[in-house]
Structure 1
Amino acid sequence: MIGDTSLMLKQIIQVFTLALISGNAIAADKVPVGDFSAGNLSGWEQKSFSGTTSYNIVSDSGRKALKASSNKTASGLVRKIKVDLNKTPFLNWSWKVDGQLKGLNEQSKAGDDYAARVYVIIDGGLFPWNSKALNYVWSSNQNRGASWGNAYLPKNAKMTAVRGQQDRAGVWQKEKRNVKQDFKTLYGKNLTKIDAVAVMTDTDNGKGQVTAVYGDIFFTAQ
């Protein structure tokens, strides 16, 4: 009887050990950033540049998501979170816009507006000129795949049109980007971590109006 009990305890310990190992592996392979489908905005802070874009959790297409509405405004939501790009280099998200911003030259200061953008930030700390950002944008006038330096900070912020003028509004799109590789391509540097993730829908320069919806944001190993 004692032997049977001892065997059962060993089996239980093995089961829980395997579960913990499995759970840690899953956690290591995925880093949640924006858990909008759970109605969760914990850890996100608003940063205003010109007026305030409205950000709210809404129900869209049968799921909860983050809705951004901009009317001549430019503000974003930022979450400070350190992500090891050696372990989880892939940024995943989904999004949808209700229309494009016509008549803009996004490579100029007067046209630096985007219906939707998700970007990652490396904090320069005491040396802000060392800060770097990758902006993944839904472009209104560039072709999908185009990249350029931001009109205001061309050396510190690089723009990439993940979606472009050929993409339909009103349709959910699912994205995945290798952030580590994109930093290498656009900055020529092998960067290994980021310090924050942000979303922004802005129309302050062109004085327009647009709405976007953002799905969950997370990093993965593959």
Structure 2
Amino acid sequence: MKARMATVFAGTMAFVSVSAVQASPPVPAFSSMAPAGEIFSWLPLKPAPKAPATRYSLVGDGGATVVHAQADRSMSGLIHTLRVDTRRYPRLRWRWKIGAPVAAADMTRKDGDDYAARVYVMFDYPLERLGFGTRMKLMAGEALYGQKLPTATLNYVWDNRQPTGTMRANAYTDRARMIVLRSGPTEAGTWVTETRDLRADFRAAFGEEAPDVVALAIATDTDNTGSRAEAWYGDLQFLPPEKRPPQ
């Protein structure tokens, strides 16, 4: 097994110290940044120290600035910490595009845990509400890696083979749920917009009401399969509940 931070996102690839999270700023928009410039307020993540880092850069695409991710047997991502009340802002919207899915990936296996594109949403789930065994695993992981580990994460992925709508525990940890939004090569090369109801997805994944969001991350990684992939990420935005027409 690789020295990946198995539970640091293991399907989620980072960590968040909840005590360091401040009150909810807007998500920094890539479209407000300059192509080839600095990616402001998104921090690099490298949970697999021995793996090369995925390259992230700002590029122009269709008149807007987006993040271009290039993975070559690599594992890293970008994370932005914040705090969002999911009762006030339960929906997350973004757009993404891939060059092609990771052909050799297999989300059911640890050695296949690679994706052309992922969006991670981390929640402020109290550690004391977890079972004893899960707490012990998290404590052991924190002692091993010297970092706080997320206790509940939704992972939205562009997979290569599992059907759209698939939801399952990550191959490394059941505290990360994988949700397949796109699958296969049919839409590769095309921008796709996603809007997710985080509270509904959290309830389906964990059987409980969603706590606050404390971080977002994006990642393209291919270290487990030793392959290459590229993706593009547009702005991420939290939205209020959808307005329903009067009855």
TM range, smaller chain: 0.7 to 0.9
**Structure having the larger proportion of residues in helix:** 1
1:159 is aligned to 178
Q: Which runs of 5+ in 2 are unaligned?
A: 1-23, 129-134, 139-149, 243-247
1:173 is aligned to 192
1:36 is aligned to 30
TM-score by length of 2: 0.73
Deviation at 1:139, TM superposition (A): 0.7
The answer as to 2:39 corresponding to 1:45 is no
Pick the aligned partner of 2:168 from 143, 148, 154: 148
1:188 partner letter: G
Deviation at 1:141, TM superposition (A): 1.3
Task: Describe the superposition over 1:19-54 as per-residue Cα deviations: whole angstroms up to 9, x where unpaired.
Answer: xxxxxxxxxxx9731400111732211111232111
Residues 79, 125 of structure 1: alpha-carbon distance in 2 compared, 3 angstrom cutoff: farther
Deviation at 1:123, TM superposition (A): 4.5
1:67 is aligned to 68
Equivalent-residue separation in structure 1 for 2:122 and 2:177 (angstroms): 11
1:20 is aligned to none
TM-score by length of 1: 0.81
Equivalent-residue separation in structure 1 for 2:186 and 2:164 (angstroms): 8
Structure 1 consecutive aligned stretches of length 4 or more whose deviation exceeds 4 Å: 123-128
Q: How many residues align?
A: 192
Q: Percent identity?
A: 35
Equivalent-residue separation in structure 1 for 2:164 and 2:127 (angstroms): 35
Pick the aligned partner of 1:197 from 206, 210, 216: 216
CA-based RMSD of the aligned residues comes to 2.0
SS across alignment from 1:32: coil
2:145 is aligned to none
Residues 90, 124 of structure 1: alpha-carbon distance in 2 compared, 3 angstrom cutoff: closer
Q: Which runs of 5+ in 1 are unaligned?
A: 1-29
Task: Describe the superposition over 1:121-172 as per-residue Cα deviations: whole angstroms up to 9, x where unpaired.
Answer: 125687774711100001111111111110011x210000111126421000
**Structure having the larger proportion of residues in strand:** 1
Residues 175, 31 of structure 1: alpha-carbon distance in 2 compared, 3 angstrom cutoff: farther
Equivalent-residue separation in structure 2 for 1:80 and 1:99 (angstroms): 29
